[in-house]
Amino acid sequence: MKVGFLGGGQLARMMALAGYPLGLRFRCLDPNPESPAADLMEHIQAPLNDPDALRQFSQGLDCITIESENVPVATLENLLLHGSKINPGIKALATSQDRLYEKSTFQNLGIPTAPFTNIASREELDKEVRSRGGAFILKTRREGYDGKGQFRIKSPADIDAAWAALGGRDLILEEWLSFDAECSLISVRDSQGNTRFYPLVHNVHQDGILFTSEPWSTFSNTSLQSKAEAHAKKIMQELDYVGVLTIEFFVMKGDLVANEMAPRVHNSGHWTIEGAVTSQFENHLRAILGLPLGSTELREPFKMINVIGHMPRASDLLNIEGLCLHDYRKKAAPKRKLGHITLLRPSQEKFEAITRQLK
């Protein structure tokens, strides 16, 4: 069977690495000649909205999937017209692409979110911030990632700077939540509605970018697993979801507040390659191709650490016992995710040795 990826980044790369042992084959569409997936599969180098490239891309594929929620909806519509099978579908993509639709979906399903409001003008921003009081975060409705397209508003004095940074785009204003921690749930659902859930992970961000993930149970003895799974089930049912879905939560006073979802495999699930019986990448492929889902059980305690901005020499890392290195072969740039490390059976000492290398 052959799968097509819209986008050829590290997620497509890791899906392919998970799918080759199953005998699967892959093709990706990405305008970047040096995209991380390009040297592992057939690569069509073109923009995702190029009709000729889409026709060529869709030939002979059993299923098409995305590796970014920013794929234009028109691209999926075009592919559906050519008879392609696409998982997850347009509804999931369109909902998670726009923070306003996404948060409204959570709200309609009774899943708690930070109080939010659509902002269509400078006047509305002024009015909301002044009348509600407190601190906020202003976000672009579309295309934000790794904390990009966000501005923190601590008081009305910050409105000018926030508008200068983001004004003119479609915006959403959220109340700033003083949460206790962040966590995420990776779920997978097949076309018959069978679901599996990975253990909840505790996430730590630095400058809005994910830095580490570890089992929630290592961090806290408050069990939130069943609550998180109940929220995920409702969302996946609502979206007729097929594939891996990630939901990011804030933890406040022992309860979950949904922040956002990603209709794809996710950075906070990279640990599953070595730490779970079946990785998120393999389970996504199984789900979208109609194969039985694999066990999501934890195999080993772990800590996942992102490599951001600068890739240390492999020889300086690989002497650490239990360290699994993933280098995406990307050009180094400040704040860019270049790879990740999964540390099995982690200790504070090993973690500190790694962070010294990352500095």
- Report the candidate in 146, 148, 194, 192 with the shortest Cα–Cα distance to residue 169: 148
Residue 282 interaction partner, one of ligand ATP, Mg ion, none, beta carbon < 5-8 Å per kind: none
DSSP state at residue 298: B
Residue placing its CB nearer to Mg ion in the complex, 30 or 102: 102
- Tokens 């696409």, residue? 86
Cα–Cα distances in angstroms (integers) from residue 209 to residues 14, 67, 259, 329, in the given order: 20, 18, 15, 19
Residue placing its CB nearer to Mg ion in the complex, 214 or 248: 248
294 part of the interface to ligand ATP, by CB under 6 A: no
Residue placing its CB nearer to Mg ion in the complex, 248 or 282: 248
Tokens, residue 341: 């490390």
Show the binding pattern over residues 132-151: x = contacts ligand ATP (CB under 6 A), - = does not.
-----x------xxxxx---
Quickly list DSSP for 125-139: HHHHHHHH-S-EEEE
| Contact set for Mg ion, span 241-270 (CB under 5 A) | 248
Residue 182 interaction partner, one of Mg ion, ligand ATP, none, beta carbon < 5-8 Å per kind: ligand ATP
Q: Which amino acid is at 3?
A: V
Cβ 304 to Mg ion shortest distance, Å: 15
- Please work out the total of residues on this chain that contact ligand ATP, with binding judged by CB under 6 A: 16
208 part of the interface to ligand ATP, by CB under 6 A: yes
69 part of the interface to ligand ATP, by CB under 6 A: no
Q: 3-state class of 81 per DSSP?
A: helix
Cβ 145 to ligand ATP shortest distance, Å: 4
- Tell me the C-alpha distance between 176 and 138, whole Å: 9
Binding ligand ATP by CB under 6 A: which of 30, 67, 182, 282?
182
Q: Collect all residues with Cβ–Cβ distance below 8 Å to 282 and sequence separation of at least 6.
A: 18, 19, 22, 294
ω into 88 cis (within 30 of 0): yes
Residue placing its CB nearer to ligand ATP in the complex, 135 or 298: 135
By CB under 6 A, name the binding residues for ligand ATP. 114, 137, 144-148, 174, 176-177, 182, 205, 208, 248, 259-260
Residues within the interface to Mg ion (CB under 5 A): 248
